[in-house]
Amino acid sequence: MRKALFSFLAAAALSVASGMAQQAADTVYRFTHGPYLQGLTAQGVKVYFTTSARGVSAVEVRKKGSAEVRRVVDYVDGLVQANNTRNAIPVGGLEPNTLYEYRLSSVPIKRFRLSNNVYGDTITTPWYTFRTDNPAATSCSFVTLSDMHDDAAKYGRLLDRMPVGETDRVFLLGDMLSNFSRPDQPYPSYIDTSVTRFARSIPFVAVRGNHETRGRYARLYGNYVYRPRGKFYGTYRLGDTFIIVLDTGEDKPDTHIDYSRITAFDAYRQEQVAWLRRVVRSEAFRQARHRIVLLHIPPVRRGENRRASAHGPAMVDSLYMPILNREPIDLMIGGHLHEFVYRAPRDGENNFPILLNDNACATLVSVDPAAVFVRTVNQEGKVIFEKKFSK
Ligand SMILES: [Fe+2]
C-alpha cells in the first residue's frame, strides 16, 4: 500500500514538473511559422513569418559569399512595425538574378512603456538562400496544383513528386482551404508544409479558389499571402513568360443562400474585365514570348448542363474568354472540378489548350524558347499526362 502511495506521489510530482517544463517551453520566445517568401521580383522580396509573442522583427540579408549584412525592418509612416506577431517584411534594393542569403532576427517586447521599452533576448534563424528573378531569362519552370482542401499530408506527398527546389515558383490554384473558419488556418492547411518543402527559398503564389472566400475569416486571407497591387488577380513575369492570374470568385450566384447576401462576385468578375483588357494591351504582355493564364474555376464547357454551380464558370466563359481567345495564349491551367481534364483547342470556344488539375495531382510546367512542356503526376509519382505545346 505504502509502495503504491509512493509511486502515485512520484508520478504526480513528475507530471507537475513536466507540466511546468511545458509551460516554460511555451513561453520561450520563438518563430512559430515561416519564413516564407512572397512577391519575389528582380529587385526585391517579401519575407513572411510569425513569432510566439509580441516583439520587433527584422530580416538580415547579404549577397551569398559576402560578409556585408543589411538589416531590414518594415516601417509605416515612420513607425517601425513592432509589438506585433505577424510579419511581412519587404526587402528591396536587390540585384537581378543574384543569390542572396537571409535570416530572421527578432526580440520580444517584455514591457511596452512610454519610453525605454523592456526587451528580451534576440533570437535568429539559420541562414536561408534565394535567387532574385532574372528578367532576361528565356526559360522558366513552375509547379501548379489545387484543391487540397486542408489536406496538408496529401499536399506534401505531391510536392515530394515535383522537383520543386529547382523551379521558379509554385502556383497554388485555389481551394487549398475548404473554408476559412479557424484563426490562422492557412498555416496548418498548407503554409507550414510549403515552408518545410520549399517556401523559405522559392515563393508560392496563392491564386484564390471559391472555398477560400468562405468562412468567418475569409476576409483576412490577404494577411497571409502577398497580392500584387492588393488584389488576388494580377500578373507575373518569369523571364520572357507572362502569367495572368484571374480570381474567378464563387461558382454559384451571389443571391445563393450559401453566401448569406455578403458576396459581390458578379461585380468583382466584371471589375477584372477592364483590368484584363488593359493587361493584354500592355507592352509587357505583347512582348512576352509565352503567355499563360492561371485561375481556379475554368470556363464552362459550352452545351453542358447549367446547374446553379455553373454560374461562375459561365461568367468566366462569357467575360474573359472573348478577350483571351483573341490573344496568343499558350495555355490556361485551372482546377475546381476535382477531375483531371485536358481540353484541346476548340475554335471560338477555347482557341488555346486548357488543363485542369484534379485534387490529387500536380503539374510541372517547363518553358523554353521553343515550347511549353507540361507533366502531370499523381501522388504515387505516376505520370498521368504529358504534352509539349510548340510555338
Ligand atoms: Fe473550387
The alpha carbon of 338 and the centre of ligand 1 are apart by a number of angstroms equal to 8
Taking every pair of Cα atoms in the chain, the longest distance, rounded to a whole number of angstroms, is: 88
The alpha carbon of 37 and the centre of ligand 1 are apart by a number of angstroms equal to 25
Cell of 103: 535570416
Q: Are residues 361 and 217 in the same domain?
A: yes
Q: State the CATH number of the domain containing residue 228.
A: 3.60.21.10
Cβ neighbours of residue 87 under 8 Å, at least 6 residues apart? 47, 48, 49, 50, 51, 57, 74, 81
Q: Are 29 and 50 in contact (CB under 8 A)?
A: no
- Percentage of the chain lying above the pLDDT 90 cut: 90
Q: Are residues 197 and 334 in the same domain?
A: yes
Q: Please name which of 56, 60, 34, 49 lies closest in space to residue 120, comparing C-alpha atoms.
A: 56
43 within a domain of the structure (yes/no): yes
Q: Are 269 and 319 in contact (CB under 8 A)?
A: yes
Q: Ligand 1 is a single-atom ion; what residues have CB below 5 A from it?
A: 175, 209-210, 336
Residue 8: pLDDT above 80? no
Host domain of residue 91: 31-131
Q: Are residues 157 and 100 in the same domain?
A: no
Q: Are residues 219 and 338 in the same domain?
A: yes
Q: State the CATH number of the domain containing residue 91.
A: 2.60.40.10
Residue that is last in its domain, among 77, 111, 131: 131
The confidence band for 78, taking pLDDT boundaries of 50, 70 and 90, is very high
Q: Are residues 47 and 123 in the same domain?
A: yes
The residue assigned the cell 477584372 is 272
Q: What is the pLDDT of residues 127-172, one digit of tens each?
A: 999 999 999 999 999 999 999 999 999 999 999 999 999 999 999 9
Cβ neighbours of residue 131 under 8 Å, at least 6 residues apart? 97, 98, 99, 100
How many domains are contained in the chain?
2
From CA 222, how far away is CA 50, in angstroms rounded? 15
Q: Are residues 147 and 61 in the same domain?
A: no
26 within a domain of the structure (yes/no): no
Beta-strand relationship, 371-378 and 118-119: unpaired
The alpha carbon of 249 and the centre of ligand 1 are apart by a number of angstroms equal to 9
Q: Are residues 261 and 212 in the same domain?
A: yes
Q: What is the pLDDT of residue 7?
A: 57
Cβ neighbours of residue 102 under 8 Å, at least 6 residues apart? 35, 47, 59, 60, 61, 62, 91, 127, 128, 129, 130
Residue that is last in its domain, among 131, 160, 178: 131
Q: What is the pLDDT of residue 1?
A: 46
The region of weakest confidence among 22-36, 70-84, 194-208 is: 22-36
Q: What is the pLDDT of residues 90-99, one digit of tens each?
A: 999 999 999 9
Q: Are residues 110 and 167 in the same domain?
A: no
From CA 75, how far away is CA 50, in angstroms rounded? 17
Q: Are residues 125 and 44 in the same domain?
A: yes
22 within a domain of the structure (yes/no): no
Q: What is the pLDDT of residues 218-237, one digit of tens each?
A: 999 999 999 999 999 999 99
The confidence band for 13, taking pLDDT boundaries of 50, 70 and 90, is low
Higher pLDDT, 109 or 306: 109
